[in-house]
Amino acid sequence: MDNKYDIIIIGSGIGGLMSAFVLSKHGYKVCLLEKNEKLGGTLQAYKRNGRILGTGMHYIGSLDEGQMMHNIFKYFGLFDGLQYQRLDDDGFDVFNIGGKEVKFPMGMNNYRKSMVQQFSDEEKAINQYISGLLSTVKEQDVYSLQEPSEGKNSESNFLATNAWDYICSLTNNTNLRNTMAALNFVYAGRKEVTPMYNHALINYYFISSAYRIVGNTEMIADKLASQIKALGGTIFNRQEVEELVFDEKKLTGVKTTSGKIYFADNFISNAHPTTTMSWIPEGKIKKTYRKRLTGLNDTLSAFSLHLIVKPGTVKYRNFNYNFYKNNDVWYASTYDEKKWPEHYFIHWPADTLNPKYVNNVTILTHMKFEEVEKWKELPVKQRGEEYEAFKKRKAEKLLDLVSEQFPEFKENLETYYVATPLSFKDYLGTPTGSMYGTERNFKRPFDSYISHKTKIPNLFLTGQNLNLHGMLGVSLSSLITSGEFVGLKKLLREVRETF
């Protein structure tokens, strides 16, 4: 049978692409099915007014030589033909918290020094905090590309510890507490639920070193795709899976909305768990399992504003900028539609032709899916005047707030484009357009983490919903899922030993 494969992978986000790369490299006949025209999920970019606008991923951590992402990028061939720009050592992320500016310098020692300089009475709390980060990371074998020891993760206190409670237990200084938690937008943290595990891994990952890609992140997707093809893998875009096909009890194929059926021995879904469950006919999977996977909370969605600015007018800054209107950095917890926006995150990729300047600026903040839900059944680009007016109103409100700090954006604006939670829903296939998939909750430490194995023996999962989101979480999850076929120990050794 021509269209029978060893493994079909559904979805070409980082998780799907990396799994397809590993499995093709190990001799499996792999087929990757993607619903969109473009591959990459949140790595995708789009072109408007001659500018390339990124849709999601903007920076990558731990990419210095000797750090874990460096090995992973080497293994996946992501240094060949791609360039990365190291962000500012003395402040790769700059925060404005209630009017006070704070910077995160790169490297744990620099971070410690800078925190102690700013909060000289709090050296003990700062040292304790850094020990907490380091011991959480050290507990995770897979973070150092070692096979997880049996039962070790279940002993981790940090899955069942709330990040904010932990921070508050170290100091009463509100400014220090906020500074420690300031990076939480990159994991859509909520102070009531976010485990120390997520906080520690992400903070450690970016503080170790932070880079942005020169160009746009779609180049990572393209690079992975071309290598998959060179290794013998097959990729079909515009193939939206709508059903899993069973022969008696065994899963044998997937059916797409175009009516095509693709057959394989094994299947990996890179889609949101609720989406994956929607493909499985009644009676083919345990009701309790389906209920658990579809009942998980999603992280909040986003509103993004892409400004097209006149070339050569807005200077490039080698850092990200995070604004919190109030002296409280947990915006996902305090989110209030009536007061929106009270937070934003700015990412400004350098103009490749004139790198001292930018030609577009991305501004991101949270937005609830419910605010746009009433337009969800309408076709893309035909959602009507009311939706267009909503987008305009929101874009201008956000631009007004941003212009208080950066008046040059408005002064040099050519035009702008907007993405709402509906855009994220449409192009990622997630039910609520969540930024980082399902939410982790320290109160349900094991229920909110999803295994790569499902209750269907030849159906596996990969991607941001399993353990951790982002380049870090998803590349590790793709190794764990592929390790099911290749042998995890062997695979991690291969990655560690890539030079």
Ligand X SMILES: Cc1cc2nc3c(=O)[nH]c(=O)nc-3n(C[C@H](O)[C@H](O)[C@H](O)COP(=O)(O)OP(=O)(O)OC[C@H]3O[C@@H](n4cnc5c(N)ncnc54)[C@H](O)[C@@H]3O)c2cc1C
Give contact residues for ligand X (rule: CB under 6 A).
Answer: 10-16, 33-36, 41-42, 56-59, 240-241, 270-271, 275, 302, 364, 428-429, 435-436, 463-464, 469-471, 474
What tokens appear for 81 in the block?
């033909």
Contacts with 258 (C-beta within 8 Å, 6 or more apart), sequence order: 238, 239, 240
Hey, which bits of 25-142 come out as E strands? 30-33, 45-48, 51-54, 60-61, 84-86, 93-97, 100-104
Least gap, CB of 240 to ligand X (angstroms): 4
Q: CA 461 to CA 453: how far, in whole Å?
A: 6
| Cα gap 231→30, rounded to integer Å | 10
Neighbours of 294 (CB within 10 A): 15
Please, what is the minimum distance in Å from the beta carbon of residue 476 to ligand X?
A: 11
Cβ 135 to ligand X shortest distance, Å = 23
- What one-character DSSP code corresponds to residue 35? S
* Shortest Cβ 242–ligand X spacing (Å): 7
Minimum distance from CB of 320 to ligand X (Å)? 8
Beta bridge partners of 416: 307
Least distance CB 488 / ligand X (angstroms): 19
For ligand X, the closer CB: 15 or 253: 15
Q: Which is nearer to ligand X, 133 or 435 (CB)?
A: 435
Name the token pair of 195.
Answer: 């485990």
Kindly tell me which of 126 and 466 has the beta carbon lying closer to ligand X.
Answer: 466
CB of 406 to ligand X, least distance (A): 19
Q: Which is nearer to ligand X, 136 or 467 (CB)?
A: 467
The minimum distance between CB 317 and ligand X, in angstroms, equals 16
Complex with ligand X: residue 176 or 241, whichever CB lies closer: 241
Distance set, CA 294 to CA 17, 240, 265, 272 (Å): 24, 20, 25, 9
Say if strands 100-104 and 210-213 run parallel, antiparallel, or are unpaired. unpaired
* Cα–chain center distance at 237: 21
The nearest distance, CB 435 to ligand X, in angstroms, is 4
In this structure, the dihedral spanned by the alpha carbons of residues 173, 175, 181 and 184, taken in order and rounded to 10 degrees, is 150
Reduced to 3 states (helix: H, G, I; strand: E, B; else coil), residue 165 is helix
Q: Which amino acid is at 21?
A: F
Q: Can you say whether the dihedral through the CA atoms of 63, 308, 425, 297 is positive or negative?
A: positive
Tokens standing for residue 351:
């103009």
Nearer to ligand X, 42 or 171 (CB): 42
Of residues 17 and 314, the one with the C-beta less far from ligand X: 17
Return the number of the residue (15 or 105) whose C-beta is nearest ligand X. 15
Our CB check for ligand X shows the closer of 171 and 478 to be 478
* Cβ nearer to ligand X, comparing 153 with 217: 217
Least separation in angstroms between residue 34's CB and ligand X is 5
Strand pairing report for 261-269 and 250-256: antiparallel
d(CA 230, CA 25): 9
| CB closer to ligand X, 42 vs 162 | 42
The answer to whether 420 touches 279, Cβ cutoff 8 Å, is no
Residue closer to ligand X by CB (options 132, 429) is 429
| For ligand X, the closer CB: 55 or 171 | 55
Helix (H, G, I), strand (E, B) or coil at 28: coil
**CB 239, min distance to ligand X, A:** 6
| Parallel/antiparallel/unpaired status of strands 261-269 and 459-461 | parallel
Residue 390 φ then ψ, to 5°? -60, -50
- Measured from the CB of residue 162, what is the shortest distance to ligand X in angstroms? 22
Q: How far apart are CA 194 and CA 438, in angstroms?
A: 12
Q: Which amino acid is at 155?
A: E
Nearest-approach distance from CB 85 to ligand X, in angstroms:
13
What DSSP element (H or E) covers 129? helix 123-139
Reading the block at residue 496, the tokens are: 């560690």
Beta bridge partners of 235: 32
Per the CB < 8 A criterion, the answer to whether 453 and 276 are in contact is no
Residue 108: CB atoms within 10 A of its CB come to 15
